Amino acid sequence: MSDLKLSCLECHLKFDLFKIRYFCSCGGLLEIAQNRASSPILTEKLDSRLTSRKASDRSGVWRFREGLIPLSDSTIVTQSEGSTPLHRSERLEKWSGSKHLWLKHEGENPTGSFKDRGMTLAVSVAKHLGQKVLACASTGNTSSSLASYAARAGLKSVVFLPSGKVSQGKLSQTLAYGAHVFSVKGDFDRAMEIVKHLAEEELVYLVNSINPFRIEGQKTIIWELLQDLEWNPPDWILVPGGNLGNTSAFGKAIDEAFHWGWIKKRPKIVTIQAAGASPFFKSFQQNFASIDSVKAETIATAISIGNPVNFTKARKAITSTGGLVEYVTDIEIMEAKRQIDLAGIGCEPASATTLAGLKKLIQNNQIKPDESATLILTGHLLKDNEASNDIHKVSFKEVEPDMSVIKNALNEVA
Ligand SMILES: *Cc1c(COP(=O)(O)O)cnc(C)c1O
Ligand SMILES: [Zn+2]
């Protein structure tokens, strides 16, 4: 099992699995080449772990360990990430036009976003490698996740945030778990460049999604979804796209699940971007010939990224599954968020791109109402209170403690 290698996506050059490297000498992204010749991992074994009390079985990430990386139970840094709920909602089916809708809520992870699934691997590897200072650029969720997992492992975390572009909740959370925060006067893409330089000089260990171990952990969103659905894949899986780590991870997860015989057909991946940060969509329109970075601006701060580092991996994910890329406006995002919130499920703005995108694709006849679709809700409702307060303030009333006034007000509601 330990003969896994880091492999260049472009020239296929191989490196040792635990060599600290983020790019190939040719500049290509690195991925972990799973050993396809080894005996297949059986779904029966994965299912049997659902009733186990062992920490590594209870984690919705490490439950799939044979398909990830070889690390001992004493090395892994886990806090029962994953095992997130899969919701249905008649209200949202009606609103979107879909007849078979599921919502997998990755906001129900320990720090409130899917980033925990990749972070448990990245921090476990950092610990295994003896790294002491872990770093990332972030719009707030990666930094919250890193800060928490580094604290659990007794390691230091340093984070670079675009100044004024991170919600209060995410900033508080990052600070609370003990991260050292550098607020950079610039956007996310600038913060990313800075931290890449520090990593190249080996001053820090980088845990952004160019770290291939992050991608490995995030594959388990798909594997767990397939397990939730008793290994019957939906037709479509919709996910927000920022740095495109998730899109990349989903493509790899589907490819491996298919190879190992867990599923008989490949669900199609749809990446939804915000109109003001949609370089991947623009590239898709030109058959992915190249990608031009943009200056990102959207209310969905988690995906306000103009120069996605995982472009080549994400392109492979869309083409290999026959998927799509779409964009939605900030107004469409906030209306979809309002619907998800009022369904009692709730999410942060970036996650709502998926519902807005589904509605758009059904209206445009690219997804049929009776095809099944799963939306990946990436972040928790409480991650961005500023955004929520704005759309839900109509339901808020200051009242005098006077029964007749209150009864009158109640009349208007009921
Ligand atoms: C990080 C994040 C995204 C974007 O994911 P990528 O893998 O960078 O495309 C979307 N939504 C939320 C809530 C996030 O935290
Ligand atoms: Zn290469």
Q: To 5 degrees, how large is the angle CA 304–CA 123–CA 354?
A: 30
Task: Give the number of the atom of ligand 1 that is nearest the alpha carbon of residue 305.
Answer: 8
Q: Is the CB of 109 under 6 A from ligand 1?
A: no
**Structure confidence at residue 1 as a pLDDT band (50, 70, 90):** very low
Please write the tens of the pLDDT for every residue from 39-57: 788 999 999 999 999 999 9
Q: Whole-number mean pLDDT of the chain?
A: 96
As a whole-number percent, the residues of the chain with pLDDT over 90 amount to 95
Which pLDDT score, from 0 to 100, does residue 198 have?
97
Q: Is the CB of 310 under 6 A from ligand 1?
A: no
Least distant ligand from the CA of 242? 1
Q: How far is the CA of 33 from the centre of ligand 1 (A)?
A: 24
**Alpha carbon distance, N-terminus to C-terminus of the chain:** 62
> Which protein residue has the closest C-alpha to ligand 1 atom 13?
379
For residues 161-187, give the mean pLDDT.
97
**Better-scored residue on pLDDT, 395 or 97:** 97
24 φ, ψ (degrees, to nearest 5): -75, 165
Strand 133-137, strand 30-33: pairing: unpaired
- Assigned CATH for 86-112+214-393: 3.40.50.1100
| pLDDT surpassing 70 at residue 410 | yes
Residue 208: HSE in the Cβ half-sphere, 13 Å Cα cutoff = 33
Q: Is the CB of 34 under 6 A from ligand 1?
A: no
| pLDDT surpassing 70 at residue 129 | yes
Please write the tens of the pLDDT for every residue from 8-38: 999 999 999 999 999 999 999 999 998 777 7
Q: How far is the CA of 201 from the centre of ligand 2 (A)?
A: 20
**Structure confidence at residue 98 as a pLDDT band (50, 70, 90):** very high
> Which protein residue has the closest C-alpha to ligand 1 atom 14?
302
Q: How far is the CA of 27 from the centre of ligand 2 (A)?
A: 6
C-alpha 77/C-alpha 151 separation (Å) is 10
Which residue is it, tokens 């550098």?
182
| pLDDT surpassing 70 at residue 115 | yes
As a whole-number percent, the residues of the chain with pLDDT over 70 amount to 100
